[in-house]
Structure 1
Amino acid sequence: MPTLTLHLHLPDSLDLSAKEVTMLLATRLYEQGKLSLGQAAELAGYSKRTFMELLGDYGVSVFNYPAEDIARDAANA
C-alpha cells in the first residue's frame, strides 16, 4: 500500500495526541469501508484484536456490514 505523509495543524484546544488523531482517522476510514479491519489496525498501530476492542470507544461497530446486505442475506438463506 502506498504511503502518504500528512502534516496537520490542529488547535491546541483539541488536546489530542498524535496517537488519538491516528486512531480517529483509522476508525473513520474503517467505518466508511475504505480500509479493511487489518489495514485500519495497522494504520492505528494496534493488533487487530486491540483495534477491534477500541472501536466501541469510538462508536464504530466491528461488524461493518450494511443493513440492506444483512436483510438480503437473510432472505437468501
Structure 2
Amino acid sequence: MKTKTISFELPLGVFSALRKTPEELKNDIRIVAAVKWYEMGQISQEKASEIAGLCREDFLMELARFNVSPFQYTADEVLKEAGYE
C-alpha cells in the first residue's frame, strides 16, 4: 500500500488535555476520522479500516465505541430493497 505523510500543528495543551502522547493522538485522529467519514457514508468499511490502521473486526469495535452503526442503510432502505415497501 502506498502512503502519503501529512502533518499539522496542534497546541501543546492538547496532549495534556487528552492525556495522550503524540503517537497515541495520531492513532486516535486516524480512527476518529475514519469512523466519521464512514458514518457520513463517504467511505466503505474496508477503506475506513485501512485509514484507521485496523483490521475490519477492530474497526467494527471502534464503531461500537463511538455508537456508530456498522450498517450504512436505514431500516426503511433495507425493507424497500427487500421489496417490503
What do residues 20-51 of structure 1 show as CA deviations (whole Å, max 9, x unaligned)? 00101000111111110000001101000111
Aligned partners of 1:54, 1:33: CA distance in 2, in Å? 16
Flag the 1:7–1:73 CA change in 2: closer, same or farther, 3 A: same
Aligned partners of 2:10, 2:69: CA distance in 1, in Å? 27
Root-mean-square deviation (CA, aligned residues, Å) is 2.4
Say how many residue pairs are matched.
Answer: 76
Residue in 2 that maps onto 1:31: 39
TM-score, scaled to structure 2: 0.70
Flag the 1:69–1:12 CA change in 2: closer, same or farther, 3 A: farther
Residue in 2 that maps onto 1:65: 73
Identical counterparts, % of pairs:
28
Report the residue type matching 2:45 in the other structure.
Answer: L
| Structure 2: stretches of 5+ with no match in the other structure | none
Greater C-alpha Rg: 2
User: In the TM superposition, what is the alpha-carbon distance from 1:57 to its structure 2 partner?
Assistant: 1.0
| Superposed structure 1 runs of 4+ greater than 4 Å apart | 2-5
Flag the 1:13–1:72 CA change in 2: closer, same or farther, 3 A: farther
